[in-house]
Homo-oligomer: A and B are copies of this chain.
Amino acid sequence: MGTKRDNIVRPINPASFHAVETGSREHIPGCLSIDFSVAVVLPAGGSGERTGLSTPKQFCTFLNRPLISYTIQAFERIAWIENIVVVVAKNSIDLMVKVVQQFGHKKVKVVLGGSTRHRSIFNGLKAFEEREEDSALKKPKVVIIHDAVRPFVEEDFLLKIAIAAKQQGASGAIRPLVSTVIATTSEGYLDHSLERAKYRASEMPQGFLYDTIYQAYVQCSEADFEFGTECLHLVLQYCGTNARLIEGPHTLWKVTYKQDLFAAESIIKETLAQTACVVTGLCEESTRLAGALQKTLGTQDMHVEIVPTKLRSSSTFISTNWNFIHVTVNSACLADLEELVKTFEETAHSVLYSVVLILVHLDVSEQPSASETMAALGGIRNLAAEAKRRNILLYGILLNHVKDAEQWEEAVENLSQIIASLIKERNPVLTGQLLWA
């Protein structure tokens, strides 16, 4: 799929999937920091019937992690967001608590939901009212309400929502309508169609002054709790607060059907594949190959850094990358890989996203022997099995050095295609294999 190159800075965090539309990443002048408290309520009580899956969609996993954890992480990485209240149905509480522990979410409080979406949101808001001694929650100035199944929300858009909510009392994301909206007769015939330009789809996130939305819920009727869908409508009706509407990027879309889960997985994979780090040691041949790879992978939209020293001492590279290519001419290199795996384990780097680790073994001997090399590297299988338990995907690629310049170029091109493909697919089944470039 040929994608247009974007000029934006590549994200460190895969949760920040960038909208490609122009204008969506503009900054609000003078508003780069927030001087009031902001918390989030994430209603996650849905049953997910529409995906056709047996698991509620917020708990469907891809790349070993449930959707809800990606959404939580999208908020948790933002410094000015203090707390995230996740509201879940009774039979999902245990699962949710386990997810919070497993993926190390620090800002989350899990709260029991109600029988409808509005009751769940109100329960989430009430969590800030409880004056328990041990409660880490304090009432925020602004509360952002979001869907658990919209994982790709970005900081700059949340900033706009939070600031507009502080200024106007309420704010919400809108999008142009994708389809024409029509009114139907009770017999199933067309009554009339709406003029598309006058209407918008109301999306999430929405922001509110905490006191405003809380008061709206205190005053609203049973019918609102039972049948209402729109928080913006409640603050208008009960508090006279007219929400500021802000056009959001299309990446705010709601994961509703099975095809959306596929799309979300592909987006995360694509984002994880934007950067890689080549570790070479100080060997001349490895360094030269690394340079060639940097160039060829660059043409495939991947930004590659070369680390000449041992990775262990380069914690910056570890913390900002999810793909590592270890280039070596030494067939006794498995010990180095083992050390790398340990480093990832110690830094807990692979908790949120799988780490891809590719050994590239360059055979520079005059008469390369496949069987000798394979015997020397046979241990990669056990090491890969061990690493996989830590969410680290280890693959090996063998490459014979050839003197002919054209052949060598072709071999490097082939190698970089295999590397790019392993990084993009993140296939756990093929770990421990030795491939030939």
Residues of A that sit less than 8 Å from B by CB: 1-4, 19-21, 50, 52-55, 60-62, 172, 174-175, 177-184, 188-190, 192-194, 196, 198-203, 229-230, 232-233, 236, 242-246, 250-251, 253-254, 256-267, 270, 370-371, 374, 381, 417-418, 420-421, 425, 427, 429-430, 433-436
Contact = CB atoms under 8 A, between A and B. Distances in A.
A341 to B, nearest CB: 21
Contacts of A243: 189-190
Contact of A188 (B1, B236, B245, B420): B245
22 contacts: A2-B61, A3-B258, A4-B53, A4-B54, A172-B190, A175-B179, A178-B254, A179-B203, A181-B194, A181-B201, A182-B200, A182-B202, A189-B242, A189-B244, A190-B233, A193-B232, A251-B259, A370-B371, A381-B436, A417-B429, A425-B425, A425-B427
A258 B199 CA distance: 24
Contacts of A429: 417-418, 420-421
Nearest to A419: B429
Given A53-B3, A259-B266, A374-B370, A179 B193 contact: no
Closest 8 CB pairs of A and B: A20-B52, A262-B266, A371-B371, A259-B263, A179-B201, A421-B429, A263-B263, A180-B202
A264 B257 CA distance: 12
A161 B198 CA distance: 29
A163 to B, nearest CB: 14
Contacts of A246: 188
Most buried by B among A52, A202, A258: A258
Contact of A430 (B20, B174, B177, B435): B435
A26 to B, nearest CB: 16
A279 to B, nearest CB: 22
Contacts of A236: 190
Contact of A232 (B182, B262, B433): B182
Contacts of A421: 427, 429-430
B267 A262 contact: yes
A177 B181 contact: yes
A200 to B, nearest CB: 6
Contacts of A232: 182, 190, 193
Contacts of A420: 429
A198 B191 CA distance: 11
